[in-house]
Amino acid sequence: MKKFFILYIILIIPHCGFSPVYKSNEINYQININKIEGDKVINSKIKSEIERISDRSKQTIFNIQIDTKYEKIIATKNSKGSITDYLLIATATFIISDNEKKETIVFQEKQNVKNNSDFVEQRNYENTVKKNFATSFVKKLNLDLLSK
């Protein structure tokens, strides 16, 4: 009986219409970046991700201005007064304009990170977090643009 149940599940699940949320085969727009300001690491990753998802052959064109801000705030200190944790906050503001209207969308990401005594390793980790923030911003932007 268990074998038939497992076989039934294996045959039914692939045909249930499931598709990943972020994988869209129907990107029906082109994105042009008119202006980009702010953090260089975040901006370069956002630009490369937008170029990757944008379809240059489509007629619908969104012109975008991007402004990013990055903050590193002391979150906690130990009893000696040494910093133990930081709060990393990245904010991306997208001003989207098409032929009809102009819209502003703001996304924000936060993450706590432990302080590392090795400066180079700490900086590399922060850059990785920044790139993850940028990827998240573009995914959110893509979902928003797909709904238009």
Q: What is the pLDDT of residue 75?
A: 93
| Confidence at residue 19, expressed as pLDDT on a 0 to 100 scale | 59
Task: Tell me the C-alpha distance between 53 and 142, whole Å.
Answer: 8
Q: What's the pLDDT tens digit per position in 94-125? A: 999 977 789 999 999 999 999 988 999 999 99
How does pLDDT run across 35-94, given as a tens digit for each residue? Answer: 999 999 999 999 999 998 887 788 888 899 999 999 999 999 999 999 999 999 999 999
Rounded to whole angstroms, how far apart are CA atoms 30 and 60?
Answer: 6
24: pLDDT strictly greater than 60: no
CA separation (Å) from 83 to 37, 58, 69, 78? 30, 50, 22, 7
pLDDT at residue number 53: 85
pLDDT of residue 14: 63
Band of pLDDT at residue 143, cut at 50, 70 and 90: confident
Element (H, E) at 50: helix 40-53
Pair of tokens at residue 9: 């599940």
Distance of CA 145 to the CA centre of its chain: 14
Tokens of 19: 């598709």
What is the pLDDT, as a whole number, of residue 26?
Answer: 61
pLDDT band at 16 (very low <50, low <70, confident <90, very high): low
pTM: 0.78
